[in-house]
Structure 1
Amino acid sequence: MLQSNLLQTDRTHLSLSAQARPDQINGGGIGDLVKFAIGFAKRRYLMIIVTAALVFAAAMLYLRFAPPTYTAQVQILLSNPRAKFVQQQSLLPEPVVDVVQIETQLQMIRSRATARAVITKLKLANDLDLTGSRWSLSALLQRIRSRSQQPENNSQADTSNEPSEGAIVALLDGLTAYRIGYSNIIEISYSSSSAVRAAEIANAAADAYISDQMDARFEATRTAASWLQERLHNLNEQALTAERAVSAYKSQNNIVSTGGKSIDEQPVNDLNARLVAARTQTSDAQVKFNRYNAVLGANATGSSVINAPDAASADVLQSSIINSLRQQYLELSRREADWSSRFGRDHLAVVNLRSRIRDIRTSILDEVRRLAETSRNELEAAQQRQQELEKQLARAVSQSRLTNSAELTIRELESRAKSLRTMHEAFLQHYMGSTQQETFPISETRVISPASPPDRKSKPKTRLVLGLSLFAGVALGIGLALLRDVMDRVFRTSSQMEAALELPCLSLVPLLSSSKAQKSTARSQQPDEDLQSRTVSNIPTIHRAVIGMPLSRFTEAIRSIKLAIDHTPAKASNQVIGITSALPNEGKTTIAASLAQLIGHSGKRAILVDCDLRNPSLSASMAPKASFGLLEVANGSRSLEETIWRDPRTNLAFLPAVRRGALLHTSEILSAETVSKLFDRLRQTYDYVIVDLPPLTPLVDVRVTASLIDCYVLVVEWGRTKIDVVQHALHTAPTISDSLIGAVLNKTDIRAMARYDAYRSDYYDDSHYIRYGLSDS
C-alpha cells in the first residue's frame, strides 16, 4: 500500500508534518468532526448497542419486579363561611384565609396527630406496608407461622393497635398535601401499593383533618361559654346586691321616693341628668381614644396590617380614608404574595410592591394618629364639660338646703344597680344566642372531591423508565466506548505511528489469511527440497504470497517497503536491511521473507539471512533440514557456498541459522570479526541483503548489529503492540533508532482502518485498487 508520506525520512520534516496535522484537523470543522463520529460509531457500535441493551433489560426487569404504587387524591375547600346570622352570634371571630393560614393548615394535615388518627381509624397499626416488612424474610416467616397460630395471634393483635413510631413515619412519607394554584382548595394525596388502600387513607386523612378542626372550634366555644356563664352569675349577684342596698338605704332614711321634694331640688336633678350625660360622653370619648391608642400600639411593633374589623377597631374602619387605604394595602399584599411565589422575593417588582405596601401602611397609621388626636381633643372637651357640671352640681348641692347626702347616695346606688342589671341582661342575651348558634353543626372546611381508587399506577412510570434507561444506556455505552478508545494504547493508524515514534510509516501491510495464501500458491508447489543441491522448494505459503498474489494489497505493501529502502536520502546505499520488531510474533520474519522474495523475483541478486540465533524460525520454515548455517560460517567450519540455499523460482539465496543447543552469547557471536567479514562478503556478492533480526525488547542482540546493517525497518503489529513498549524499546537502543528508515504496520485490518482513520477513510476503499487490477485474492 503506497502512501504519500512513505518516503519521508527527514525526521525534522516528519515532526513538523505530524504537528501540523492536528491544526488541519481542527481547521476541517464540522466535516472532520462528523467523520470522527462516524468512525467512532463504526468502531464501537457493538459496545454501545450491548451496553444500551443491558441497561434497557435492567429497566425491564425493574418494571417487571418493582411493586406498583397507586396515588389517590382528595380535594377539600379550606374556607366554608358560615351564614351571616351565625357569624353575628358567634363567640369567636371568623379566621382570615391567607398564605400563612393555608401553610398552617397544610402542616396540620401532615402532622403526626392526623397520621395517628388515620392509623387508629383504619386499624393500620400492624399493616405490612406501614411497618416496612411486606417483602422481608421475617415477614414471610411470620405469614407462614400465622397459618398455624392464627387464634393466638388474634388475641395478641388486639393489644397492639396502638400505632408505632415507624408506622406513623411511613404513613407520613406517603401522605402529601399542597395548595392548588392560588385557590383555597387543598389536595391531599396518598401513595400505596394498593389502589383501594390509597383511597381509604386519603379520605381518612381528610376526615381526620375536618374532625380536628370542628373539635378545636367546639372546644374553644365551650371554653368561651363557660367563662360567659361564670361572668353572668357574678353580674347577677352584683346587681342583686346593689338593688338590696338601694332598698335598705331607703328604709333607713325613710325615703319613699326620689321625687316629692321641694322645687329647689329641680336644678339639682337637671344638673345631675346633665352630669350623667356628660360622664357618658366622657366615657365614650375615653373609650374611643383608648381604641385609637390600642390600634396604634398594635401596629407600632411591626404588625403587617391593621387589625380586622372587630369591636376593638370599629371606629377606625368608619373612616372612608382608612377603608380606601386598607383596600389598597390588602390588594398590594395579595399581589406581593402572588409575585413572590412566581418571581422570587428579591425581584424588583416584588421589592417595589413591598415599598408601596409600607407607604400605604404608614399613611394608614398617620390617619389613625390624626383621628386619635381628634378623639383626644374631644375627650379633653368632654372632661372639661364634666368637670364644669360637677362644679355646678357641687355648688347646687351645697346651696340646696333640701338636698342631703342620703339623696345622693340613693341616686348613686340606684344608678349602679341599674347599670349592673342592664349589663347582666345584655350578657344574658348574648350568651343565649351564642349557645343556640354553636349547636349549628358546620365546619369551615368541607370535602369537594373525595378520593376514589385509581385505575393506573403512578409509579414506576413505564414510558419514563424505558426512555431514561434507553438514553442512559446509550450514554453509558458511548462513555465506555470513549474510555475504551482512550485506553486503547496500541497502533491503529499510520499518523498515530508517525506521531508516537517520529518515524515515517513505510507501509500498511494487510493481514493475510492462510487460506488465501495457500490458494494462491497451490499451483506452484514442488517436491521436497534437494539436500544435495540445497534447493528451497517448500517455502511456506505466506512467504510465497508476493509471488502467488502479485496483484494484491499485500504485495503492493511489500513493494512500498522496497521503494522506501531504495529512495531513502539519508544514506547513499541501503544494501543491508535489518528487519526487527519490538516484541516477538509481530510478523517481522514474514515481512523479511516476503521482501526478499519480491526483490529476488524482480531479478535482483538478493540473499535472506536468518540472524535470530536463539529462535531461528525463518530457517525452520524455509530450510528445516539444513545442517549448516551462519554459525558454522562464522566459526570457519564451513564455507559460505556450502551453507547457502536457493529458491529456483526467484533465484533468492538463503543463509539459515542452525541451532544445535542453547546459545548463551549470541550477542558476542554477532559482534565477532568473522561475522563482520561475512557481511562484507555478502555486500560484494549480492545487491540486497535482507537480515531477519531478533526482537528488540527481550534480547540485546540487535544492538550489536549496528556495524553490520545499513538501515533498519521496524515491524509493528496492528492493534496489538503497545505504544509505550515500542517507545521504550527504541529508547533503550539509540543506535538502532538512529538507523531506522521507518516502520511497517503489519497485520492490518484494512476494513477496520476506515473506522479508525476517519480522515482518510476513502483511501481504504477497494474500488481504488480494483480499478488497477489489485485485490486481496
Structure 2
Amino acid sequence: MLQRNMQRIDETYAPLGSATVEGDGFGEIIHRALAFLRRRYLIIILIAALAMAACIVYLRITPPTYTARVEILFSNSRAEFLQKQSLLPDPVVDASQSASQIATQLQLIKSRATAVRVINELKLADDPDLNVSGPSLSSLGRLISSASKDPQFDAAGQPSERVIAAFEDRLTAIRASSSNVIEVGFSSSSPIRAAEVANAVANAYIADQLDVKFEVNRSAKDWLQGRLHDLGKQALAAERAVNAYKSQNNIVSSGGKPIDELQITELNNRLAAARVQISDAAARASRYEVMLHANSDDSSSLGTLDAGPDSLTSPIINNLRLQYLELARRANEWAAKFGRDHQAVMLLRTKMAELRTSISEEVKRLAEASRSELEVAKQRQQQIEKQLNEVVSQSRSTSSAELTIRELESHAKESRTLYDSLLQRYMGSLDNFPLSEARVIAPALPPQTKSKPKTVLVLAIGALGSLALGVGLGLLRDRMERVFRTSGQIEGKLELPCLSIVPRLSGPKPPQPAAASSRADDDSRLIASPPSAVHDVAVNMPSSRYAEALRSIKLAIDLSPGKGSNQIIGITSALPNEGKTTIASSLAQLIGHTGKKIIIVDCDLRNPSLTTCLAPNATTGIVEVINGNRSLEETVWRDPKTGLVFLPAVRRKPLFHSSEILSAEATRNLFNQLRTSYDYVIVDLPPLTPLVDVRVTAPLIDFFILVVEWGRTKIDVAQHALHTAPNVYENLIGVVLNKTDIKSMLRYDAQHSDYYSDTHYIRYGLTDPT
C-alpha cells in the first residue's frame, strides 16, 4: 500500500502533480508533433480550407490595382555661368544635407497642392477610383460608395476632401536607396491611367519648381530695379556734392590729387635735386683747390693734374696731357742718346713746362667755374625752400576742407560701386531663365502586371496564416481540454501509477435484465440475476484486451505493498458516470472466475447503480444488514457461473446521512466479517466530488483504486478531488484509465505507439471486445 506525505500533497496541489514529462530529444519532439497533427488535423484542414476559400473569394471580388512608377533625379544641373548670373543662389545637394533635402522634396510631391493640380489637369474628380475610400475596394464597396453621392467639388470649385484623400492614398513617393533619385508611383484600376497620373505628378512637381523660381526671380528683379533707381540717385547726388564743395572751397585737383599736394611734392623733388647738385659742385670745387695747391708745390709733376674725373672729361686738358707725355718720352729718349744737357733735350723740357703751365691755367678755370656753379646751386636751393614754405603754409589752411572732400568722394565712390555692381547683375538677369533641379530620368509606362492584390502572396499568406491559425486553435484546444488522455498524464499530474488502460466497449448496450429472479430448489438464498453483457465481457471473452486490462488491475492489487491474505479494495472516481461501477463488477467477475472467494459490495447508497445492473429486484441490502434487520446470508446474491457474491444496496427512500451509516460501528463489524469470509472484497464506492461518503470509508478499505474516463475526466477536477480527500489519496495504489479509445491513443501518445498496436495483441490471441 502506498503511503504518501500530506505535505507533499499540499505542495504538489495547485495543480496537484503539476510536473510535466520533459522531452528527451529531437525524436520525441517529432513524435509529439506528429501526434498533434493526428489529433487536430481536421481542425487544421478545416481552417486551411476556409482560409483558402476566403482568399479565393477575395481575389475574385477585389478589382486589380496597377501601379506605374516614374523616376525623378534631384540634383544641381545648372551650368556654372548661369549660376553666376542668377539673382539667387541655388541650393547645393551635398552628402550632409541630402537626406533632409530629399525628404523635403518627397513632401512637396505628396503635397495637397500637387494633388489638386493633377486632379484638375486630368479631371480626376469623376474617376471612379477616387470616389471610393481605399485603393482597392471590392465591387460591393464601390456600389456602396457610389450610392453615397458625396459632392466631388467644394464651394470654391476645388476637388473635395474625399477625392484628394483618395488621390493621396494612391500616390507614393520614396527615395531610391541612398541616391538622389525619387520614385513616384500611382495606383489605379487602369494601367494606362496609372502611368498617365504618375507622369502628370512628376510634371506638376517640376512645373511647380519652375513657377516658384520664376516668381522668386521676378520679385528679385522688381526689387533690384527699384534699388538701382535709388542707388543711381544717391551716387549722382554724392558726386554733385563733391563738385559743389570743391567749387565752394576753391579746391582744384589734377590727376585725382589736390594742387597743393602736387606742388609740395614737386618742390620737395626739386629741393632734393638742388641739394644733390650743391653737394656735387662743392665736391668738384674742393678737388680743384686740392689740385691747384698740389701743383704749386710740385711743378715738375703731372700726377696731381689728373687727380679728378673732371680733368679727364676736359678735352683741352686731355690734349695738353697727351702732348706733354709725348714730349716727356722724347726728352727721355734724347737725354739717353744725347745727354741731359743737350740743347734739343732742353728745348723739349721748355715745351713741357709750357704745356704744364697751360694745364694749370685750364684747371684754375675749371675751379673758378665750379665755385660759380656752387653759388648758383645754393641760391636755387634757397629759392626752392622759400617756395616750399609758402606752399606748406598755404596747404595748412585748406587741410580741413580736404578731409571733407575725401569723405564726400569716398561716399560717392561707394555709391557708384554698389550701383555698378547691381546694374551688372540686373543686366545679366535680363537674359536669365529659371531651371529646375529635378528632371525625369525614367517616365512611367503602363504596367503589364497588377500590383495588388498579389495572387501568389495572398494565397501564400492565406495558406501559412490558416496553417498557423489551425495549429494555434489546435494547441489552444489541447491546452483548454485538460483531460486525461495518456498514462503519462496520470503519472505526471496525479503522481500515481497508471494500473491499466481499459479499452472502450463500443458494442450495443444489452437490454435491461428481467424483473423477476429465481430461487434455488434446495435452499432459500437468493441467486443473482444474469449480469449484463458489459459486466460479463471479462468472463465471456477472456482473450479480449478488455479482460487483459482487468488482469493488470488484479496484478496491481496482488503486488501492492502491505498485501494481506484478505483484502478490501475500494473502487471510486472523481465524477459520476466514469465507469467505476463497470470496472468494479468486471474485476469481481474476473477474480471470481479464477476460483477465488470474492464478494462485491455496493456502497453507493444514494445511487446504487451496481444493484440496478446485478440485482434489480433486490428488496434488502447492506443498509438492512447494518441495521440488523437482515443477516448477511439472507441479503447476498450469488452467481453460480463465477461464484461471485454480491451485497446490494436497496434505496427505499432518500438517504441524507449515508456517511453516518458508512462510518457506523456496525459497518466496521460487517467489513471485518467480510474480510474473514472472502479472499477479495470489492467495494463499489460513490464518486469523490459530489459526496463525502468515500472519505469516511477510509478506515474500512485497505486501498483504493481511482477510475478516470479517457477524454472526459478533467485533470483539475481529479486533482481537486484528491486534494480534498487526503486520506483516500494516501491509500490509492493507482489509477485506471477507463473507456480508452485505443485507436485514438496513437494521436496522443505517439512515442508509445507500439504499445497500442493490434499486431502484438493479435499475436497472443487477444481481441478487441467491440
Q: CA deviation at 1:556?
A: 0.8
Determine if the alignment matches structure 1 residue 111 to structure 2 residue 111.
yes
Q: How far 1:744 sits from its partner (Å)?
A: 1.6
Q: In structure 2, what is the equivalent of residue 495 of structure 1?
A: 488
Q: Does 1:204 align with 2:200?
A: yes
SS in 1 for 2:716: helix
Residue identity in the other structure for 1:495: G
Deviations 1:614-658 (A, max 9, x none): 222222222223344334444444444443333232222223333
Cα separation, partners in 2 of 1:434 and 1:747, compared to 1, 3 Å:
same
Which of 463, 476, 483 lines up with 1:483 in the alignment?
Answer: 476
> 2: CA distance between counterparts of 1:677 and 1:245?
146
Q: Partner amino acid for 1:622?
A: L
Give the AA of the match of 1:106. L
Is 1:470 the counterpart of 2:466? The answer is no
Tell me the equivalent position of 1:714: 706
Does the 8 A contact of 1:78 with 1:186 survive in 2? yes
Indicate the larger mover: 564-573 or 75-84: 75-84
Instruction: Tell me which moved more, 471-480 or 79-88.
Output: 79-88
Cα distance in 2 between the residues matched to 1:269 and 1:190:
84
Tell me, yes or no, if structure 1 residue 530 matches structure 2 residue 518: yes
Which residue of structure 1 aligns with residue 743 of structure 2?
751
Q: Aligned partners of 1:179 and 1:536: how far apart in 2?
A: 93
Q: Pick from 436, 449, 466 the counterpart of residue 431 of structure 2.
A: 436
User: What is the letter of the counterpart of residue 629 of structure 1?
Assistant: G
Instruction: Give the corresponding residue for 2:548.
Output: 556
Is 1:450 the counterpart of 2:443? The answer is yes
What TM-score comes out, normalization by structure 1 length?
0.67
Structure 1 pair 433–269 and aligned structure 2 pair: CA distance change class (3 A): farther
Distance in 2 between residues matched to 1:592 and 1:496, nearest whole Å = 23
In structure 1, the residue matched to 2:617 is: 625
Aligned AA for 2:613? S
Structure 2 residue 503 is the aligned partner of structure 1 residue 510: yes
CA contact (8 A) 1:126 1:161 kept: no
Report how far residue 509 of structure 1 moved.
Answer: 1.2
Contact 1:76 1:187 in 2 (8 A): yes
Q: CA deviation at 1:431?
A: 4.5
1:594 deviation in Å?
A: 0.8
Larger radius of gyration: 2
Q: 1:541 Cα shift?
A: 0.4
Correspondence 1:680-699 to 2 at 5 A:
680-699=672-691
Distance 1:458 1:706, change over 3 A: same
In the alignment, structure 2 segments of 5+ residues that lack a partner are 267-386
Pick closer, same or farther for the CA change 1:424–1:596 going to 2, 3 Å: closer
1:558 deviation in Å?
0.8
Local SS of the residue matching 1:178: strand
What are the equivalent positions in structure 2 for 1:395-406 lying under 5 Å apart? 398=391
CA distance in 1, matches of 2:25, 2:550: 35
Structure 2 partner of 1:46:
42
CA distance in 2, matches of 1:452, 1:483: 50
After superposition, the C-alpha distances for 1:214-259 in whole angstroms (9 at most, x for unaligned) are: 222222332343345445556776788899999999999999x999
Amino acid at match of 1:110: K
Q: Distance in 2 between matches of 1:420 and 1:704?
A: 121
Q: CA deviation at 1:692?
A: 1.9
The one of 722, 744, 767 aligned to 1:730: 722
Single out whichever of 120-129 and 743-752 deviates more from structure 2: 120-129
Quick one: structure 1 residues 139 and 749, their matched pair in 2 at CA, closer, same or farther if it must change by over 3 Å?
A: closer
2:539 — aligned with what? Answer: 547
Partner of 2:538: helix, strand, or coil? helix
Distance change in 2, residues 1:267/1:681 (3 Å): closer
Q: Tell me, what secondary structure is at the counterpart of 1:186?
A: strand
- Counterparts of 2:72 and 2:683 in 1: how far apart (Å)? 95
CA contact (8 A) 2:65 2:188 kept: yes
8 Å CA contact 2:173, 2:184 repeated in 1: yes
1:772 aligned to 2:768? no
Q: What fraction of aligned residue pairs are identical, expressed as a percent?
A: 59
- Shift of the alpha carbon at 1:555? 0.4
One-letter identity of the residue aligned with 1:484: R
**How big is the shift at 1:133?**
5.2
Deviation readout 1:537-556 (Å, 9 max, x if unpaired): 53110111011221111101
Contact residue 514 and residue 541 of structure 1 kept, 8 A: no
Q: Report the 3-state secondary structure (helix = DSSP H, G, I; strand = E; otherwise coil) of the residue aligned with 2:431.
A: helix
Deviation at 1:775, TM superposition (A): 2.3
Counterpart-to-counterpart distance in 2, 1:397 and 1:213: 72
Are 1:74 and 1:202, in contact at CA under 8 Å, matched by a contact in 2? yes
**Superposed CA offset, 1:459-494 (max 9, x none):** 333322332333333333333333333333322233
Residue 213 (structure 2) aligns with: 217
Provide the rounded CA distance (Å) in 1 between the counterparts of 2:652 and 2:766: 43
Aligned to 2:589: 597
Contact 1:529 1:538 survives alignment (8 Å): no
Instruction: Measure the CA separation in 1 of the matches of 2:102 and 2:86.
Output: 22
Q: Which letter maps to 1:591?
A: I
The letter of the residue matching 2:518 is D
**Deviations 1:294-349 (Å, cap 9, x if unpaired)?**
xxxxxxxxxxxxxxxxxxxxxxxxxxxxxxxxxxxxxxxxxxxxxxxxxxxxxxxx
Contact 2:516 2:617 in 1 (8 A): no
Cα deviation, residue 691, structure 1: 2.3
Q: Is contact 2:20–2:493 with CA below 8 Å preserved after alignment?
A: no
Q: Counterpart in 2 of 1:28? A: 24
Deviates more, 1:186-195 or 1:206-215: 186-195
Equivalent position SS for 2:204: helix
Q: Matched residues in 2 for 1:231 and 1:169: separation?
A: 45
SS of the residue 1:551 aligns to? coil
Given the alignment, which residue of 552, 577, 599 partners 1:585? 577
The alpha-carbon deviation at position 456 of structure 1 amounts to 2.9
Contact map agreement 1:120 1:161 (CA 8 A) in 2 = no
Secondary structure at the aligned position of 2:39 is classed as: helix
* Distance change >3 Å, CA 101–CA 268, structure 1 → 2: farther
User: AA paired with 1:97?
Assistant: V
Relative distance call for 1:77 and 1:605 in structure 2 (3 A) is: closer
Contact 1:11–1:502, Cα closer than 8 Å, also in 2: no
**1:70 corresponds to which of 44, 66, 76:** 66
Conservation of the 8 A alpha-carbon contact between 2:572 and 2:687: yes
Q: Deviations over 1:122-161 (max 9, x none)?
A: 3456767557558799996885597xxxxxx99x959552
Q: Which moved more, 1:61-70 or 1:504-513?
A: 61-70
**Letter aligned with residue 543 of structure 1:** H
State the 1:101 CA deviation: 4.2
The CA distance in 2 between the partners of 1:62 and 1:243, in whole Å, is: 86
Structure 1 residues not aligned, in runs of 5+: 1-7, 147-152, 272-393
Is the alpha carbon distance of 1:653 and 1:53 closer, same or farther for their aligned partners in structure 2, counting shifts above 3 Å? Answer: same
Q: Name which of 179, 182, 188 aligns with 2:184.
A: 188
SS at match of 1:77: strand
Task: Give the conservation status (yes or no) of the 8 Å contact 2:483–2:711.
Answer: yes
Contact 1:9–1:504 (Cα < 8 Å) also in 2: no
Query: Could you list the per-position Cα deviations for residues 7-52 of structure 1 after superposition, in whole angstroms to 9, with x for gaps in the alignment?
Result: x84658xx99x99x99996572323333333333333333333344
- Out of 176, 185, 193, the position equivalent to 2:172 is 176
Find out whether 1:659 has 2:651 as its counterpart: yes
Counterpart residue type for residue 716 of structure 2? D
Rounded to whole Å, the distance in 1 between the matches of 2:627 and 2:419 is 144
Counterparts in 2 of 1:427 and 1:157: CA distance versus 1, 3 Å:
closer
Aligned-CA RMSD value: 5.0
Which amino acid counterpart does residue 646 of structure 1 have in structure 2? R
Aligned residues: 625
TM-fit CA distance, 1:598: 0.9
Q: Does the CA-based 8 Å contact 1:574-1:711 persist in structure 2?
A: no
